[in-house]
């Protein structure tokens, strides 16, 4: 039951991309086409499961003070293996993902799960957590890539869609479009998700104009009077 | 005397409402709209209509959906629609105009909290998004209908490529008889609208004056044709109607002047040394982003205090 929960929480409730907002860089960069997004998701999921298992297994051996370098070395080794596999079997995907494939090493999701989960939990739970987070990452990438490819390029997985292909909004495949789609998806998740972020709209402090505001101006007066003395 | 009323200032409230201000802006935009129909034909009216309807509809629907106070009747969405349409070429496909209007209202305005909360001018931002998204149809300029709607270079594009024979005369620039966006060509109508707004005190003169003066001075220094630079492109439309938006520009007169000067400098930099022939929209967006800092630096000091420096 607990293992199942560890698996399922990563998919929606603690979705790494849309709720925890981790791994933004590969999300924005590789979600221009569905194929790339799925390839990136699969590669990251594989690394995530393996790194969670290894780090969880070694959690009592790794000294606490140098744990981050140890995690990085382990993750880098796993990423290198995955990259070799991708290069050998799907060279086209390797070309499409380019630098973002080796950059999985510094993907916040993987280091984040190692630090937050795998270093404190048992091997099976960590594997389930890694698998769930990987699926969540892949799903978020797939969702973003679908929106961006269908409306930005008029294709889905490279297949042309009749009407949209002639009337596509090319900004969606560019960097600004990626940020737009990302922002809108996070907004939707916050709006319709069960876990709403705490509202900070309490008092003057949260107001962007707080420093220009008359209330703050009052305190400036007091300060001014003091420095005059 | 039943009770003593104690409340904070302001104690006198005027009869001015957002709706009346926006109505004045719409009146000021009318000459340019009429001119655009004369210059480019009835399709410009269609584009304006589509933009206005889509803007008003998306404002209404989004506020209904989010259960917010409905602000369609303050006419600000209508103004955004007209301004956006003025920034589009007349040959724009209708679905792209609809996309731009929805972006302007929902993404730029409503997602940031609606009227008064948006950090950038919705019409300008939507235009820039459309420029990036549909670069082909957004730069498909058609000449006025007299010459049977042939595509041709805008005055600024002609000037930057030194095609002197396709550069219109000053009279043509003033009357708007050249290619360009729907609402930007007729300088006379825009000036008339600007004077109306300044007389009605809807906008203050500092921003447009600083903007236009900076462009004039910098053109003079760079040895370009000053009148040509002033009357062509979107300068007048931007300076009068876009750079004077309340929510996205500094509140103090000095801040407004700084804002205008900044816009002018960026416009000239893009026009003379940038890749694009026109930079008004980018300059306004850039200065919109800098507005909080300008407001902070140029705010007026309280009368009794202000000794903290």
- The residue among B122, B120, B119 whose CA lies nearest residue B79 is B122
Answer whether residue B77 is part of any domain.
yes
Answer whether residue B190 is part of any domain.
yes
A176 and B107: CB-CB below 8 Å? no
Q: Would you place residue B1 in the very low, low, confident or very high pLDDT band (cuts 50, 70, 90)?
A: low
DSSP structure class, residue B233: T
Specify whether the CB–CB gap between A50 and A110 falls below 8 A: no
B chain contacts of residue A172, beta-carbon cutoff 8 Å: 133
Answer whether residue A197 is part of any domain.
no
pLDDT of residue B61: 92
Q: Do A67 and A164 share a domain, yes or no? A: yes
If one counts the domains in chain B, the total is 1
Answer whether residue B8 is part of any domain.
no
**Can you give the residue range of the structural domain that contains A224?**
202-229
Predicted-assembly ipTM surpassing the 0.90 threshold = no
- The residue among A113, A108, A105 whose CA lies nearest residue A81 is A105
Task: Give the pLDDT mean for A84-95.
Answer: 89
Answer whether residue A224 is part of any domain.
yes
Which of A174, A177, A224 lies nearest to residue B305, judging by beta carbons? A224
pLDDT of residue B122: 92
Kindly report which listed range (A67-76, A117-126, A149-158, B251-260) carries the lowest average pLDDT score: A149-158
Answer whether residue B215 is part of any domain.
yes
pLDDT of residue B211: 93
pLDDT of residue A186: 87
B chain contacts of residue A217, beta-carbon cutoff 8 Å: 302, 305
B chain contacts of residue A180, beta-carbon cutoff 8 Å: 107
What percent of chain B lies above the pLDDT cut of 70?
A: 91
Total residue length of chain A: 229
Q: Do A128 and A218 share a domain, yes or no? A: no
Answer whether residue B189 is part of any domain.
yes
In A, residues 197-216, which contact B (CB 8 Å cutoff)? 208, 211-212
Specify whether the CB–CB gap between A149 and A170 falls below 8 A: no
pLDDT tens per residue, range A132-179: 999 999 999 999 999 998 888 888 877 777 777 777 788 888 888 889
Kindly report which listed range (A85-99, B56-70, B274-288, B294-308) carries the lowest average pLDDT score: B294-308
Q: Do A72 and A134 share a domain, yes or no? A: yes
As a whole number of angstroms, the distance between CA B116 and CA A64 comes to: 51
pLDDT at B147 over 50: no
Answer whether residue B104 is part of any domain.
yes
Which of A167, A170, A220 lies nearest to residue B302, judging by beta carbons? A220
Answer whether residue B309 is part of any domain.
no
pLDDT of residue B198: 92
Specify whether the CB–CB gap between B280 and B243 falls below 8 A: no
Q: Do A164 and A89 share a domain, yes or no? A: yes
Q: Do A65 and A132 share a domain, yes or no? A: yes
CATH of the domain at B268: 1.10.3430
As a whole number of angstroms, the distance between CA A148 and CA A169 comes to: 9
- Establish, for the pair of chains A and B, how many residue pairs have beta carbons separated by less than 8 Å: 46
Give the position of tokens 């439309």.
B237
Answer whether residue A72 is part of any domain.
yes
Q: Do A153 and A219 share a domain, yes or no? A: no
B chain contacts of residue A223, beta-carbon cutoff 8 Å: 308
* pTM of structure: 0.79
pLDDT of residue B164: 58
**Can you give the residue range of the structural domain that contains B192?**
18-292
Which of A171, A180, A223 lies nearest to residue B308, judging by beta carbons? A223
pLDDT of residue A217: 44
Answer whether residue B298 is part of any domain.
no
Q: Do A226 and A143 share a domain, yes or no? A: no
Q: Do A206 and A187 share a domain, yes or no? A: no
pLDDT tens per residue, range B159-217: 666 555 566 777 877 777 778 888 888 888 999 999 999 998 888 899 999 999 999 99
pLDDT tens per residue, range B81-127: 999 999 998 888 898 999 999 999 988 888 888 888 888 899 999 99
Q: Do A212 and A180 share a domain, yes or no? A: no
If one counts the domains in chain A, the total is 2
B133 and A170: CB-CB below 8 Å? yes
- The residue among B41, B40, B73 whose CA lies nearest residue B59 is B73
Nearest residue in chain A measured CA to CA from B292? A209
pLDDT tens per residue, range B36-91: 888 888 888 999 999 999 999 999 999 888 888 888 888 889 999 999 999 998 88
Q: How many CB atoms lie within 10 A of CB B32?
A: 28
Answer whether residue A116 is part of any domain.
yes
């Amino acid at each position: 039951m607990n293992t199942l929960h560890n698996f399922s929480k990563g998919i929606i409730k603690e979705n790494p991309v849309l709720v925890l907002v981790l791994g933004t860089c590969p999300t924005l960069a590789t979600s221009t086409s569905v194929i790339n997004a799925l390839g990136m998701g699969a590669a990251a999921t594989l690394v995530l499961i393996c790194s969670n298992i290894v780090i969880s297994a070694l959690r009592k051996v790794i000294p606490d003070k140098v744990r981050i370098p140890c995690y990085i070395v382990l993750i880098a080794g796993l990423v290198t293996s995955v990259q070799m596999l991708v290069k050998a079997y799907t060279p086209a995907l390797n070309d499409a993902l380019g630098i973002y494939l080796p950059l999985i090493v510094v993907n916040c999701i993987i280091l984040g799960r190692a630090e937050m989960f795998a270093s404190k939990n048992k091997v099976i739970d960590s594997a389930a957590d890694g698998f769930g987070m990987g699926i969540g990452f892949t799903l978020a990438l797939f969702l973003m890539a679908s929106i961006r490819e269908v409306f930005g390029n008029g294709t889905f997985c490279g297949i042309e869609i009749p009407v949209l292909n002639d009337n596509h909004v090319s900004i969606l495949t560019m960097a600004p479009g990626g940020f737009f789609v990302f922002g809108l998806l996070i907004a939707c998740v916050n709006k319709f998700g069960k876990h709403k972020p705490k509202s900070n709209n309490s008092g003057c402090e949260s107001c962007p104009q707080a420093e220009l505001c008359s209330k703050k101006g009052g305190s400036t007066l007091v300060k001014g009077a003091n420095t005059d003395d | 005397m039943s009770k003593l009323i104690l409340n904070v200032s302001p104690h006198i409230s005027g009869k001015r409402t957002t709706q009346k201000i926006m109505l004045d802006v719409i009146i000021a935009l009318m000459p340019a709209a009429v001119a655009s129909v004369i210059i480019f034909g009835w399709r410009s009216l269609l584009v304006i209509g589509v933009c206005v309807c889509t803007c008003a509809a998306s404002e209404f629907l989004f506020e209904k959906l989010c259960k917010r106070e409905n602000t369609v009747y303050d006419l600000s969405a209508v103004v955004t629609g007209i301004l956006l349409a003025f920034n589009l070429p007349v040959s724009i496909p209708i679905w792209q105009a609809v996309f731009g209007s929805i972006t302007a209202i929902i993404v730029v305005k409503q997602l940031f909290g609606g009227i008064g909360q948006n950090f950038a001018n919705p019409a300008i931002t939507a235009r820039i998004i459309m420029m990036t998204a549909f670069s082909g149809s957004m730069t498909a300029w058609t000449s006025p209908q007299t010459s049977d709607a042939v595509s041709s270079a805008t005055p600024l594009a002609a000037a930057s490529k030194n095609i002197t024979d396709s550069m219109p005369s000053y009279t043509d620039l003033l009357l708007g008889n050249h290619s360009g966006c729907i609402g930007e060509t007729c300088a006379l109508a825009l000036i008339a609208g600007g004077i109306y707004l300044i007389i009605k005190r809807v906008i203050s003169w500092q921003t447009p004056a600083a903007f236009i003066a900076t462009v004039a001075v910098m053109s003079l220094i760079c040895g370009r044709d000053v009148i040509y630079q002033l009357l062509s492109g979107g300068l007048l439309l931007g300076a009068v109607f876009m750079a004077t938006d309340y929510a996205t520009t500094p509140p103090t007169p000095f801040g407004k002047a700084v804002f205008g000067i900044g816009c002018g400098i960026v416009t000239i930099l893009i026009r003379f040394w940038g890749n694009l022939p026109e930079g008004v929209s980018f300059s306004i967006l850039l200065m919109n982003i800098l507005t909080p800092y300008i407001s902070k630096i140029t705010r007026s000091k309280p009368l009794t205090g202000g000794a903290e420096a």
